[in-house]
Amino acid sequence: GALVLEMGGMLQHGAIVSREYGLPAVVGVANAKNIFHNGQFIQVNGSNGRIKILSNE
């Protein structure tokens, strides 16, 4: 699992919870709700902030 957020920063609640659970997170992704859709497989790299769409199922 991972977390992708449109707004906020690394001190936002979602980002803090992702750190507690050891999940990668990328914050500040403009238009994330329009770019990513249910059923898609994505790869999230929390270290460099990159998100890659793996499939458009």
Residues marked active site are found at 13
Give whole-number Cα distances, 15 to 11, 19, 55, 56, 57, in Å: 6, 6, 25, 26, 27
Residue 44, beta-bridge partner list: 51
Residue 55, beta-bridge partner list: 41
